Amino acid sequence: MKQNIVRAIWPESKPKPMQISCLMVTQASRFEWVQLAVADFCAQTYAERDLLIIHDSGTGFDDALKHWIATASACAKELKRIAVKRVPAGQTLGALRNQSVQMATGDLVCQWDDDDRYHPMRLALQAEKLRAADADFCFLRDQLHGFVSDKTLCWDDWNVEPYPLNFVQGTLLGKRDKMPRYPEIERGEDTGLCLAILNEGHRVTRLRHHGWCYIYTFHGDNVWGDQHHQSISSTKRMPLAFVVGKSKELRARLAEYINLPGYQQILAGNSGIPVPGDQRG
């Protein structure tokens, strides 16, 4: 009885939000895309966050990137949250990702690729899912897939993949102290990491039907080429009925992005339908 009285007077406080370190690996050729991804970070609704950008390009790019961050209006209120680190050249993407994890200070780390797009609620949604599930890692089960030159979106459903790899590998949010090492290879390193997470028995949760909070972007200068991206889209796109049913929500969420390319249609099943609503310029 006394214990119940104490709890009524002093209710248990909510746990403190965990700090998320968003980790971006980039290079000089991605400067235009980096600016959009950094702006997306600055627009996040989740407060306890920081962004670590590492690259192995020259001092010219390093100076230009730091100058842009220091002067861009999108970053004006977030400067203390953003750090840029230049590392020795000639390393694989996997090796660079490992260095970013080692440099991170957050309780959680989130893969923040330099050429993809992130809705303002992306971090908040995944962090809450991870907390509610008492999990070590959280991934999205579906994503939007943007084909810039075609002005086309697809809603990819990775739940069609066999369990337990039925999630979007590039959407990792997880506990830093549980992170395995990435294989030190030039591409496909996230698959090796995800297999290690599963093999080590870590608790993985998946966030479904929020694909609008992440846009996997194909712009022609990606690590993976057109065939890879088209294959994902053609085998995993959501059916027409699902996309039509989500059109009101999709319209609202796309409008909350900043400076999206002018996507005109979304492929669903065997059909193409107009992208709902206007996107912010």
205-220 confidence digits (pLDDT tens)? 999 999 999 999 998 7
Q: What is the pLDDT of residue 28?
A: 96
Strand partners, 204: 137
Cα(203)–Cα(138) distance, rounded to whole angstroms? Answer: 9
Q: What is the pLDDT of residue 223?
A: 74
Token digits for 42? 């600055």
The mean per-residue pLDDT over the stretch 162-176 comes to 98
From residue 210, alpha-carbon distances to 143, 153, 206 in Å are 7, 15, 10
The mean per-residue pLDDT over the stretch 176-200 comes to 97
The mean per-residue pLDDT over the stretch 144-153 comes to 95
Burial code (b: 16+ CB inside 10 Å, e: under 16) for 235-246 equals ebbbebebbbeb
What is the pLDDT confidence band of residue 228, given thresholds at 50, 70 and 90? confident
The mean per-residue pLDDT over the stretch 135-148 comes to 98
Q: What is the pLDDT of residue 8?
A: 55
By CB neighbour count within 10 A (0-12 exposed, 13-18 middle, 19+ buried), where does 207 fall?
Answer: buried
What are the sequence ranges of the domains in the chain? 18-274
- Residue 281 pLDDT > 70: no
Cα(38)–Cα(114) distance, rounded to whole angstroms? Answer: 8
From residue 173, alpha-carbon distances to 135, 137, 169, 223 in Å are 10, 6, 10, 21
The mean per-residue pLDDT over the stretch 117-130 comes to 99
Supply the mean pLDDT for the chain: 93
Q: What is the pLDDT of residue 159?
A: 97
The mean per-residue pLDDT over the stretch 149-177 comes to 97
- Residue 225 pLDDT > 90: no
Instruction: Output 248 or 3, whichever has higher pLDDT.
Output: 248
Instruction: Output 224 or 3, whichever has higher pLDDT.
Output: 224
- Residue 221 pLDDT > 80: no
pTM of this prediction? 0.92
- With tokens 């002005």, the residue in question is 151
CB contact at 8 A, 112 and 41: yes
Q: What is the pLDDT of residue 230?
A: 86
- Residue 179 pLDDT > 60: yes
- Residue 10 pLDDT > 60: no
Which letter does DSSP use for residue 102 in this model? H
Architecture per CATH, 18-274: Alpha-Beta Complex (3.90)
